[in-house]
Amino acid sequence: MKAHITVPSLNVIKEIQARMVILLCLALSFLMVTFTVNAQKVITKSQDTILPLITLNEVILISAKQELQYQKQYKPLSSLDEYLEFSRKVDMIKRGAYAWEPTLNNMTSERLSVTIDGMKVFGACTDKMDPITSYVDVSNLSKAHIISGQKGAAYGSTIGGAINLELDKSNFKGTGFKASIENSYETNNKLKVIGAEANFSNTDFYVDSDIVYRKAENYSDGDGKEIAFSQYEKYNVSINGGYKTNPKNAITATLIFDEAHNIGYPALPMDVSLARALITSIGFENDSIGAFSNFKSKIYYNTVTHIMDDSKRPDVPIRMDMPGWSDTYGFMSEAKLKTKKHSFLLKWDGFYNQSLAEMTMYPNNPNERSMFMLTWPDIRTLNSGIYAEDDISFKKSSFNISTRVAIQNSTIADEFGLNSLKIFYPNINKNQVRVLKSLSVQWHKNFVPYRLNFGLSYGDRAPSVSEAYGFYLFNSFDNHDYIGDPKLKNEESLEANAKISIEKSNYELGIESTAFRMPNYIIGEIDTSLSTMTIGADGVKIYKNLTYANLINVAINGQYKIFPELVLDGQVSYHRGKDNKNRNLPFISPLSYSSSIQYNKKRFSGTFKIRGAAKQVNFNSDFGEDQTLAYTVFSLNFGKTFYLNNDLVYAKMGVENLFDKKYSTYTDWKNIPRMGRNFFITLTYSMY
């Protein structure tokens, strides 16, 4: 039986979108007036995940093992980067078509805790060309858990929040054997995706395995111009399993191997010949130990190798090789304790990381000697922390208190690297100990149909390896060399967040905001007394602590059920960031908006999406930014599920950037244009 849908005309959809944007902008204006009357406070976005309370969490479902989830996914075999970009909270910094860097609350990776199943993984690239999200695939994952602000301290010390990528596991569900074959093709960059998975699960044992291969050529922008050096090729293999030693105890294990080759970065002066990661863990789970329940413990190890080179670039001032390595050993244990009104979560975790990166310059004149330096001088970081959380429940409200305390020791293990840094800091020590702290208080109230959330938090973070120990790291965005400062103070955050929402049977509307006051904000400042190392660089910056910086994020989102099968939703968000000198902070989003109309009935689905942003007027040229123009792009897709006996066949096709718009956003490094019109088709055959 076929389902039919009449798609509204483009003019009708534009009119609906225009009216919705006007209404949301009016509400946004009212909210901004209310907030700016008070002081320079800043606040975060949130989404309900547990009824009837409001939390500062967002969950992006990724696993596509059920028919309903297939229908909801915009593009089932898209990259993880694209999944995260669909989030209401996350933007992605793009240096090419591969390995985008996630930002949360307009904060980049230094201020976030990004984990894979709770495991710490650290990239091996000094130019952040290998964010942690690049070493997993959607085939590995069930969901991405996005936590705003200090609630993210459950996954490590943070300022902006946390992103935890949860692995897809059968978890003793007793579903027997299942397998699937998946493939996808995209026209713009000739992307080919081929994947397969096989899973077996009963009440005592499960094993999940999958493999996926991706290869893309150069893509073209909205003017049809080919963007050179935007190709990539990668494959990913993962296996995880579990065995119950008795009805209450289980042993689990995970292995992920990810390797990418020939990765082009058109916005950067160098490409990547190899990016490889091995991620492993062994865990123990127990339903109850004494008064505690849901006890989980694991040890893990991961190693990352990243090799930058410019051998395929036709004209460079000087040839360079820039390899980097990162090894991490870690553990974590957590348990829950429930009483009549209290729900406790206790967690102990720790990691040991070794980060090493080097650079060799080869002069064009063979008679001249090559030059070698350690850009990360073999930094050894030992971190151990305790996290505790208590949810106190009342009749129509709840009170959440969470805290984290961690001790971190950093050591410069390489004498050559230590002596290099002593050129700038003669009295630095090899070892440095820091105490990291976090405290969050959240209040939730349910006034059916209204819901209210308010919270206050404090937290701090240690400088990253680059910020503290980086040695002449070239940033092509602002064309400066950067040098770290081991004496930097911990960056701090005073945070306030609020949300009010109304939920009716046929519509939802919410207004949310977060404000951050960040003492000792870390950023690079020009030092005119120093000479550049990179040919053509404009100067040298050293990481410094500013007195403070302020950041505010405000979002209005709504959803309206036109019919049970037809849903309209949208969001408008506003962001503003300034430092103590009244300068605009870098990578702060302009006014942005998105909307979609979704149809789901029986085995058919369709989605029409609109997203865009206003002109970026609050930019800072000192950090390499310039004005990005306003844009609006449109996308459309259709999906259909079929059954062959007990097997499932799912097909989805669509077009992105429908009108072939040439544009770039504030997160596009050096204004590299986004992809032009792109048709895609995905086919999945699942055997049950």
pLDDT of residue 290: 80
Query: Under a CB-based contact definition with an 8 Å cutoff, are residues 134 and 168 in contact?
Result: no
pLDDT of residue 291: 83
Give Cα 200 to chain centroid, integer Å.
30
The CATH number of the domain where 522 resides is what? Answer: 2.40.170.20
Cβ partners under 8 Å of residue 266, min gap 6? 95, 96, 227, 228, 229, 230, 672
Q: What is the pTM of this model?
A: 0.89
Instruction: With residue 25 as reference, give the H or E element that holds it.
Output: helix 10-37
Query: Under a CB-based contact definition with an 8 Å cutoff, are residues 184 and 173 in contact?
Result: no
pLDDT of residue 68: 47
Domain presence at residue 234: yes
pLDDT of residue 37: 31
pLDDT of residue 150: 95
Instruction: With residue 240 as reference, give the H or E element that holds it.
Output: strand 232-244
Q: What is the 3-state secondary structure (H, E, C) of 86-154?
A: CCCCEEEEECCCCCCEEEECCECHHHEEEEECCEECCCCCCCCCCCHHHHCCHHHEEEEEEEEHHHHHH
User: Is there a cis peptide before residue 449, judged by omega within 30 degrees of 0?
Assistant: yes
Domain presence at residue 326: yes
Domain presence at residue 26: no
Domain presence at residue 7: no
Domain presence at residue 25: no
Domain presence at residue 31: no
pLDDT of residue 16: 38
Domain presence at residue 471: yes
Closest by CA to 630, choosing from 682, 591, 658, is: 591
pLDDT of residue 28: 36
Instruction: With residue 522 as reference, give the H or E element that holds it.
Output: strand 522-526
**Domain around 67:** 40-414+422-687
pLDDT of residue 17: 41
Query: Under a CB-based contact definition with an 8 Å cutoff, are residues 650 and 140 in contact?
Result: no
Domain presence at residue 14: no
| Strand partners for 686 | 180, 648
Pairing mode, strands 292-309 and 319-338: antiparallel
pLDDT of residue 18: 39
Give one word for 349, left, alpha or beta, with left for phi > 0 and alpha for psi -120 to 50. beta
Closest by CA to 154, choosing from 141, 169, 142, 164, is: 164
And the tokens for 175? 């579903």
| Average pLDDT per consecutive 10 residues, the chain (688 residues; last block may be shorter) | 37 40 36 32 33 59 57 76 88 95 95 97 96 94 93 96 94 92 96 96 95 97 96 97 94 98 95 97 91 93 96 86 97 94 96 97 84 95 97 92 98 95 94 97 93 96 97 95 97 97 94 97 96 92 97 96 94 96 95 95 92 94 92 95 88 96 96 97 91
The total domain count for the chain is 1
